[in-house]
Amino acid sequence: MVNLDTLERMEVFKNLDDRRLSAVSECCAEMVFQRGEGIFKAGQEARHLWAVAEGRVNLHAEPASTLQESEVSETQVFGWPSLLHPRIYRFSAACAARSAKVVRIDSDCLQALFEKDPELGYRVMSRLLRVIGNRFDQLQEEVVKRRGQDMMNQW
């Protein structure tokens, strides 16, 4: 179980009441990773949603590509393929700070909560969709920026 204050800070659990946060906390466990230590690998079955409580986590594609790398920091979530079919992680995740405390959220447990409390499911999934959309926008901006730099370098 994870402290409710920790959960409440997470971008997908903001503004949930204590009853709902407490239910979510039953699906959670805190874990600590050291710099470079892997959290999960691309291609693995995605059984957990993750949130950074302290530190930073690097997400990267394999094989490595600078366009397919990002860093998530405190209050941010990652590993959302655990809530989407076919439930396979598309990126690998590793600790990017000296140490990082992350919250591991069992996706089966979370989905069972959503079935019992559809409003909770709607609120969390709506926030998660905003997160995914924002990260996609950031990726698009990075691709455009790099293509522009490549074009300038070719002149």
Question: For 90-121, how does the pLDDT look when each residue is reduced to its tens digit (9 = 90+)?
Answer: 999 999 999 999 999 999 999 999 999 999 99
Q: Which residue has the higher pLDDT, 149 or 100?
A: 100
Number of domains in the chain: 1
Q: Would you say residue 42 has pLDDT above 90?
A: yes
3-state helix, strand, coil in the chain (%, to 5): 45, 30, 30
Mean pLDDT of 16-23: 98
- CATH number of the domain to which 33 belongs: 2.60.120.10
Please indicate, yes or no, if residue 98 is contained in any of the structural domains: yes
**Residue 111 belongs to domain spanning:** 4-147
Q: Is the peptide bond before 118 cis (omega within 30 degrees of 0)?
A: no
The DSSP-derived string for 75-133 is T-EE-GGGGSTT-B-SSEEEE-SSEEEEEEEEHHHHHHHHHH-HHHHHHHHHHHHHHHH
What confidence tier does 142 reach under pLDDT thresholds 50, 70, 90? confident
User: What pLDDT, on the 0 to 100 scale, is given for residue 32?
Assistant: 98
Q: What is the pTM of this model?
A: 0.88
Please indicate, yes or no, if residue 115 is contained in any of the structural domains: yes
Please indicate, yes or no, if residue 152 is contained in any of the structural domains: no
Please indicate, yes or no, if residue 127 is contained in any of the structural domains: yes
Please indicate, yes or no, if residue 10 is contained in any of the structural domains: yes
Q: Is 150 exposed, middle or buried (0-12, 13-18, 19+ CB in 10 A)?
A: exposed
